[in-house]
């Protein structure tokens, strides 16, 4: 929801960073890889007891993830760049979930449920993007929903910064992801029945 509706407020800063990186000779794929490396360190930092650093690198990774897409649109988007971007996004989220699971074993069952809900929601999202004739700003149809990447980062940040509340935050995140997957599935039926 925030990615769709609030992006316009941060897009000028993203555009400026993207233009600066291109002037330095960086490619979108190089920024994607940097974003990935920074992002997967988040779960590692959390596991070793540095939750504030974990949250900072998570959000830095997310910012660079937005920048690489803008860079691609300013130059020539590559199909493999899209594959890397979407894959690395999920691996960053998995890193955080694993970091929390290993650091707080009592909530592993809830984190497993959360992982299932993310798989469900992303399966619908990616499948609709693959089969839909609609095109968006990105290289595939981007299906908005209640939980997009920013909402996920907010939940993951709360889970890392407030470990005493990680169980209830995880269960709320699970509910929101499941709702989003269902929302996208119903929208997919409507969209694809028209095509």
pLDDT in tens, 148-183: 888 999 999 999 999 999 999 999 999 999 999 998
CB-based burial of residue 83 (10 Å sphere; 0-12 exposed, 13-18 middle, 19+ buried)? exposed
CA angle 127, 128, 132 (to 5 degrees): 125
pLDDT in tens, 3-52: 665 677 788 899 999 999 999 999 999 999 999 999 999 999 999 999 99
Helices (H), 50-165: 51-74, 79-103, 108-131, 149-161
Domain boundaries, the chain: 2-194
pTM of the model: 0.87
- For domain 2-194, give the fold: 1.20.120
């Amino acid at each position: 929801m925030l990615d769709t509706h609030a992006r316009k407020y941060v897009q000028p800063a993203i555009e400026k960073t993207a233009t600066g990186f291109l002037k330095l000779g960086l490619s979108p794929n190089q920024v994607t890889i940097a974003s990935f490396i920074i992002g997967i360190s988040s779960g590692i930092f959390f596991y070793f007891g540095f939750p504030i650093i974990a949250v900072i690198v998570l959000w830095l990774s997310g910012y660079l993830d937005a920048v690489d897409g803008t860079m691609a649109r300013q130059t020539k988007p590559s199909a493999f760049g899209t594959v890397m971007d979407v894959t690395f996004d999920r691996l960053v989220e998995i890193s955080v979930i694993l970091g929390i699971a290993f650091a707080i074993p009592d909530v592993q069952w809830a984190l497993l449920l959360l992982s299932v809900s993310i798989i469900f929601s992303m399966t619908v999202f990616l499948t609709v993007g693959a089969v839909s004739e609609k095109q968006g700003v990105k290289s595939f149809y981007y299906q908005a929903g209640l939980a997009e990447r920013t909402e996920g980062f907010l939940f993951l940040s709360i889970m890392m910064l407030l470990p005493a509340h990680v169980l209830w935050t995880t269960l709320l995140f699970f509910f929101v992801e499941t709702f989003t997957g269902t929302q996208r599935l119903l929208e997919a039926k409507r969209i694809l029945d028209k095509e």
